[in-house]
């Protein structure tokens, strides 16, 4: 049973919660507030539980699956690529590579991950810091299938791209205009507009402000490419452990 998703099992909600509680106890001194919320949302949208490789074949598969589900969130959060102590000149490649829409992505010299993958994580990290106060959670580690952000009441889901991708029929549920009558509202946001000639931050601001579940006492989200480039510059020259940024 190499590929398995708990969504395929006719499990009752209480049993699923028990499996989750047993597995999350393995990590101490770690805040589970966001993952708890993600878990509750997934329970109400079972098809969003991702497919995970589970080699074991036994009655314990659901338990093992849930353990791996918790692990992927924890591991992704604790191992953000640019946490590594690297040469600032090498990190500078990441910052400058994405300063212009038409720039061609080159392979990274210091890490097996390409700058494209590192940039994807940094883009989501930047967004997570900005939208947290508005009730949005970073679903890091693909704990919700193909979803990068959700709001705390599970009424809105967001998939993040650096630039538009051609949608395949298998990814139709991630279309820009999901049918809310058939399921949760899922939107795809691209940093670059379709022609890759302009940035699309105003749309992200609008989506977050419309679907926020918290932060109503704050002014609406208003971030721009300038803010993002400043974030990259800080990463380039300071290179602090990025994990601490999530707590700010």
213 close to 135: Cβ distance less than 8 angstroms = yes
Which residues form the domain of 16? 3-78
Q: Is 201 helix (H, G, I), strand (E, B) or coil?
A: helix
Mark whether 106 and 215 lie in a shared domain. yes
Q: What is the pLDDT of residue 108?
A: 32
pLDDT over 60 at 101, yes or no: no
Q: What is the mean pLDDT of residues 93-115?
A: 41
Q: What is the pLDDT of residue 140?
A: 94
Percentage of the chain surpassing pLDDT 90? 45
Query: What distance in Å separates the CA atoms of residue 113 and residue 71, rounded to the nearest whole number?
Result: 20
Mark whether 145 and 35 lie in a shared domain. no
pLDDT over 50 at 216, yes or no: yes
Q: What is the pLDDT of residue 59?
A: 73
In 3D space, the residue among 211, 80, 199, 232 whose CA is nearest the CA of residue 152 turns out to be 211
Question: Average pLDDT over the chain, rounded to whole?
Answer: 77
Tell me which of 78, 105, 135 is where a domain ends: 78
Mark whether 60 and 87 lie in a shared domain. no
Biggest CA pair distance of the chain: 53
Q: What is the pLDDT of residue 238?
A: 59
Q: What is the pTM of this model?
A: 0.78
Look at the chain and report how many structural domains it folds into.
2
pLDDT over 90 at 87, yes or no: no
pLDDT over 60 at 170, yes or no: no
Mark whether 14 and 136 lie in a shared domain. no
Tell me which of 78, 107, 141 is where a domain ends: 78
Selected residue with higher pLDDT from 99 and 114:
114
């Amino acid at each position: 049973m190499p590929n398995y998703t708990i969504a395929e099992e006719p499990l009752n909600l209480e049993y699923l919660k028990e499996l989750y509680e047993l597995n999350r106890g393995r990590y101490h001194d770690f805040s589970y507030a966001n993952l708890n919320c993600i878990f509750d949302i997934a329970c109400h949208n079972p098809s969003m539980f991702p497919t995970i490789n589970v080699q074991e074949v036994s009655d314990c598969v659901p338990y093992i699956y849930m353990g791996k589900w918790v692990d992927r969130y924890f591991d992704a959060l604790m191992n953000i690529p640019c946490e590594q102590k690297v040469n600032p000149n090498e990190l500078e490649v990441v910052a400058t590579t994405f300063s212009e829409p038409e720039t061609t992505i080159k392979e990274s010299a210091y890490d097996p991950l390409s700058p494209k993958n590192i940039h994807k994580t940094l883009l989501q990290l930047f967004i997570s810091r900005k939208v947290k106060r508005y009730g949005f959670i970073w679903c890091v580690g693909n704990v919700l299938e193909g979803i990068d952000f959700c709001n705390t009441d599970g009424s809105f889901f967001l998939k993040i791209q650096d630039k538009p991708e051609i949608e395949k029929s298998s990814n139709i549920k991630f279309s820009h205009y999901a049918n809310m009558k058939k399921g949760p509202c899922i939107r795809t946001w691209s940093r670059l507009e379709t022609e890759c000639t302009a940035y699309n931050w105003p749309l992200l601001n609008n989506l977050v402000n419309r679907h926020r579940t918290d932060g109503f006492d704050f002014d609406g989200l208003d971030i721009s490419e300038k803010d993002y480039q400043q974030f990259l510059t800080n990463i380039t020259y300071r290179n602090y452990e990025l994990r601490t940024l999530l707590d700010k």
